[in-house]
Amino acid sequence: MRTPSAPTLTIAAGLAAMALAFFSNAGAQDQPTPETAPKRLSSAVFAGGCFWCVESDFDKVEGVVDTVSGYTGGELANPTYKQVSHEHTGHYEAVKVTYDPDLVSYDTLVDYFFRHVDPTDPYGQFCDKGDSYRTAIFVGNEDERAVAEAEIAEIEESGVLKDPVVTRVVQASTFWPAEDYHQNYYKKNPLKYRYYRTSCGRDKRVQTLWGDAADH
């Protein structure tokens, strides 16, 4: 058997090194870089009466990437709109807000939420009355609870509202998305939505309640 010459061994070694470098670079390209890695998103859940309106309001916030109308706070699994509206399910109409914390903070979302609702109404919101229309913030951890409770304390200390804040701060539980026809209702049915919002007096009440502190 003939022993390979030195030049032959050198060429083979060089080819092997090139192959190793090629496959190493290919593998590196498959790994997400800081620029291409998926962004870290967070979520928050707010109940502020009619979820059509809450969804519409939060969609205007820079840094919010998605909103979903749904039900939460009760024990009934897979609730329907009819059940939540007319039965004692314990559920609230709520909106799950997915956001980019690099663009908007949880504190900002909580502040924004309060200035788009009537947090002093224990019976519902605007023209909609009933337990499912009450206001609440569903917190996922103690940091979120601290932010929500601090915001309530700040509002009450400011004296901007004549009556006490009754918005509950509740531990988050299963969020059940509402029926498809409720999602993005304000986009799918702009005329009906605008008529409902205006006739319900939502914006007028918010302006009267918060005055210059209202966030539009």
Contact 186, 112 (CB under 8 A): no
pLDDT value of position 144 = 98
Would you give per-residue pLDDT tens digits along the chain (216 residues)? 445 554 444 444 454 445 444 445 555 455 555 555 667 999 999 999 999 999 999 999 999 999 999 999 999 999 999 999 999 999 999 999 999 999 999 999 999 999 999 999 999 999 999 999 999 999 999 999 999 999 999 999 999 999 999 999 999 999 999 999 999 999 999 999 999 999 999 999 999 999 987 765
3-state SS string for 110-165: HHHHHCCCCCCCCCEECCEECHHHCEEEEECCHHHHHHHHHHHHHHHHHCCCCCCC
Per annotation, catalytic residue among 50, 53, 127, 200 = 50
127 noted as active-site residue: no
pLDDT value of position 36 = 57
Give the DSSP H/E element, type plus range, for residue 67. Answer: strand 64-72
- Interatomic CA distance for residues 15 and 43, integer angstroms: 51
What amino acid occupies position 84? V
> What single DSSP character describes residue 200?
H
Sign of the torsion formed by the C-alpha atoms of 89, 186, 55 and 165: negative
- The second-level CATH assignment, the architecture, of 42-213 is 2-Layer Sandwich (3.30)
- Interatomic CA distance for residues 111 and 145, integer angstroms: 13
For residue 174, what are its two tokens? 């299963």
Contact 164, 123 (CB under 8 A): no
pLDDT value of position 213 = 77
The domain locations on the chain are 42-213
- Residue 155 CB: number of other CB atoms within 10 A? 21
